[in-house]
Amino acid sequence: MRAVIVAAAVAFVISLFGTPVAVRVFTALKAGQPIRSIGLASNENKVGTPTMGGVVFIVATVLAYVAGHLALTTLPERQIAQEGPTMTALVLLGLFVFCGAVGFFDDILKVRRRNSDGLSAKGKLLGQALVGGGFGVAALYVPSTNGQTVASEHISLIRDISWLDVGKVGAVMVFIFVITAMSNGVNLTDGLDGLATGASILVLGAYSLIGFWQYRHWCADDGYARVNEYCYQVRDPLEIAMIAAAAAGACVGFLWWNTSPARIFMGDVGALGLGGLIGGLAVVTRTTLLSILIGGLFVIITTTWVIQIVSYRTTGRRVFRMVPLHHHFELAGWSESTIVVRFWIVAGVCVAAGLGLFYADFLAAVG
């Protein structure tokens, strides 16, 4: 637990004090967020606000992971169940950094062109697929010394579903889909000050709890497994908890400056990076299907966006006033702060329901 707390605290401090530095740097570089004129009141005063703030919380998370491992060296030998950096950490942090890199390239193009046209949709999807495929292969084809891989060949809900074996190739394809879907979901949510950041904090906090719970009931812990039949067959759960906690702490520090009125935006570098990390956390904790509920706000916003696109292209009619969904409510007369807080509540309810199902499964098994 000490390592998880240290990682979260270090990430928070770095992000809290590093973000205003990034504001000055990106302002000096004239890296302002290009704002499309789409008739929304929330956009009127945002022209020129620096973007690419996601760089701060990505760097903070990586540094905090290192700090968390330094804290591990002070723990009793029995508790040091993992040697770092592990393949699990490399996959999760790699997804965070390289999905962020795709977003960073997109942001750079927007800033240089002085408009909101960055990478094409196909280019962005290709970049996400390449990152997801590369780390998916590492997660499925690089086993630890006991033969366990970071990801599983089975589709998972709260643990692997034994009859849903898709094989290694199929599992890599699922991995790519989860990473791409979640990164785009967070990116679509990032439209109002603090909205995506706050929702991500809730989801990352949930995965930190899940990772630590799996660590305390881990099949690889001989002391626990000898007396308990019910355990979690995952790889490096303490690493998972540390990285999720570090990312959550970094986002809390960033939210101090990102809440309305935002001093800086996370940009695609932050949104795609966070989505890639959250998707990775879902796969490595064996909660792929449960992530649909835990990340419910992202799923809702993505689903309504798809409904709008399909409806307009097939019938010429719009189901919503505007997508992503938060803009629909803006046009309905809701204030930006009202939308953000209410969407956070939706995200919190989804996270609570997901954690409830996770724990209920545990109680059902040991009861």
Query: What is the reported pLDDT for 153?
Result: 94
What Å distances lie between residue 333 and 41, 42, 347, CA to CA?
A: 10, 11, 21
What is the per-residue pLDDT for 231?
85
**pLDDT at residue 118 in the model:** 77
pLDDT at residue 148, as a whole number = 86
Token readout for 58 is: 């990505």
Q: In angstroms, what CA-CA distances link 7 with 4, 99, 164?
A: 5, 21, 35
**Could you tell me the two tokens for 192?**
């109002």
Q: Which of 41, 6, 12 is nearest to 255 (CA)?
A: 12
- Give the sign of the dihedral formed by CA 124, CA 344, CA 16, CA 61: negative
Q: Which residues pair with 165 in a beta bridge?
A: 154
With 0-12 CB in 10 A as exposed, 13-18 as middle and 19+ as buried, what is 223? exposed
- Looking at residue 111, its pLDDT comes to 85
Q: Which segments of the chain have a pLDDT < 70?
A: 33, 35-44, 73-84, 115-116, 145-146, 222-229, 367
Phi, psi dihedrals of residue 160, rounded to the nearest 5°: -60, 140
Which distant-in-sequence residues (6+ apart) come within 8 Å of 324 by Cβ? 188, 189, 191, 301, 304, 305
Q: Within the chain, where are the H helices?
A: 2-28, 54-72, 87-113, 121-141, 167-189, 195-216, 222-225, 237-258, 267-284, 291-294, 296-315, 325-331, 336-366
pLDDT in tens, 236-268: 999 999 999 999 999 999 999 999 899 999 999
pLDDT tens per residue across span 113-136: 776 677 888 999 999 999 999 999
117 contacts 108 by C-beta, under 8 angstroms: no
Q: Among 209, 351, 272, which residue's Cα sits nearest to residue 57?
A: 272
d(CA 50, CA 37): 17
